[in-house]
Amino acid sequence: MTNKKIIAVVGSTGSQGGGLVHAILDDPNGGFAPRAITRDPHKDKAKALAAKGAEVVQANLDDVESLKKVFAGAYAVYGVTNFWEHFSAEKEKAQAKNIADAAKAAGVKHVIWSTLEDTRKLMKPDDTRMPILQGKYRVPHFDGKADANAFFTGLPVTYLVTSFYWDNLFLFGLAPKKGTDGVYSWTFPMGNAKLAGMAAEDIGKTAYGIFKAGNQYIGKTVGIVSQHLTIAEMGEKLTKGLGIGPVTYHAVDANIYRSLGFPGADEMGNMFQVYRDFEQEVLRARSVETTRSLNPQLQNFDQWLAKNKSRVPV
């Protein structure tokens, strides 16, 4: 039996939760122990966490009773939902409600809810610059998470507003592609706007800083980011860091991006358009200084690239 404070981590086999579990295990004298939640404790990523010393438990976000069991006795909960598994804001909200309800039942002392901003507030309802998706959202995976904030009312909660992962270059296939002419190129509807980005693993490390800070961030919204870079700046860094030829950036119209036909193209098109059209609002909602104070090892793009270059498929 550990006398450490247990942090129950949803999404422990994924980017955000995985970063947190590793951050806790990498700080054996920090006073915390991770309880890694997965639907399948037998999968390789779960077994790797157990081998490193994590308690690994089984639960499903669709089953509130299973969450109550694994949150019982925990000091804190890290809550994240995975929109990209099902592409449904309503399902994401139902899962978030289960996290909040189970955290209430378990009486935990701190919850971090991994959320995003409500992009509907940036535009009037009759603004036609981008389509309404899933009946009532501009960017469903943002707006659904923002709607879900309300479920956490009454809990000792920190609302963590995250940023675009640079890891999307390999996780989401967003790396520049080499054409038959040997020229690298990529396409985004981002114009010259800066993208608020960070290494995915730094989300968990920063969340750990929030838990370690005790009550300081309870009831607060914390927007985290490492570096604001334009797509052209990211391309230049990839050219240098990967030793590839110059990357041509096609700054297309958002309507063209939305019509590219891959799963989630409309969703991603709306998201990048929000980053472009509301650049200042998105950047203002996130603070590099706060993030660095919570996570002094915060990586910038070049450091992240040096560590992950073999994973970027170019």
**Beta bridge partner(s), residue 8:** 35, 77
CB-based contacts of 47: which residues, under 8 Å, 6+ apart? 41, 56
Q: Kindly state the smallest distance separating residue 72's Cβ from ligand NAP, in Å.
A: 17
Residue type, 160: L
Structural contact between residues 198 and 227, judged by C-beta atoms closer than 8 angstroms? yes
Size of the site for ligand NAP (CB under 6 A): 25
Binding of ligand NAP at residue 82 (CB under 6 A)? Answer: yes
Q: CB under 8 Å to 3, separation ≥6 — which residues?
A: none
Name the token pair of 128: 């036609």
Strands of the sheet containing 194-198, edge to edge, are 164-165, 194-198, 227-230
- Among the listed residues 88, 134, 168, 187, the single contact to ligand NAP using CB under 6 A: 168
Helix H or strand E encompassing 164: strand 164-165
Strand 194-198 with 227-230, pairing: antiparallel
15 binds ligand NAP (CB under 6 A): yes
Give the shortest CB-62-to-ligand NAP separation in angstroms.
5
> Would you count residue 27 as binding ligand NAP (CB under 6 A)?
no
Minimum gap (Å) between residue 157 Cβ and ligand NAP: 17
In angstroms, how far is CA 86 from the centroid of its own chain? 16
* Residue in the structure block whose two tokens are 């005790």: 214
Q: Which stretch binds ligand NAP (CB under 6 A): 97-105, 160-168, 225-233, 279-287?
A: 160-168
Residue number with CB closer to ligand NAP (200 or 254): 200
Q: Which two tokens stand for residue 207?
A: 């969340």
- By CB under 6 A, name the one of 11, 140, 189, 235 that touches ligand NAP: 11
Among 85, 127, 253, 302, binds ligand NAP (CB under 6 A): 85
140 counts as binding ligand NAP under rule CB under 6 A: no
Binding to ligand NAP by residue 141, rule CB under 6 A? yes
Among 8, 17, 35, 273, binds ligand NAP (CB under 6 A): 17
Closest CA relative to residue 176, chosen from 165, 187, 192, 189: 187
- Could you tell me the smallest distance in angstroms from the CB atom of residue 73 to ligand NAP? 19
Token reading at 280? 């200042």
Rounded CA-CA distance 156/107 in Å is: 10
Among 25, 55, 60, 134, binds ligand NAP (CB under 6 A): 60
- Regarding 165 and contact with ligand NAP (CB under 6 A), the answer is yes
Burial class (CB in 10 A: 0-12, 13-18, 19+), 157: buried
**Options 54-62, 118-126, 129-137, 152-160: segment touching ligand NAP (CB under 6 A):** 54-62
Quote the least distance from Cβ 99 to ligand NAP, whole Å: 10
Distance separating alpha carbons of residues 220 and 204, to the nearest angstrom: 17
Among 6, 14, 174, 291, binds ligand NAP (CB under 6 A): 14
Asked if 65 is part of the footprint of ligand NAP (rule: CB under 6 A), the reply reads no
Interface residue list for ligand NAP (CB under 6 A): 11-17, 38-40, 43, 60-62, 80-85, 141, 162, 164-165, 168
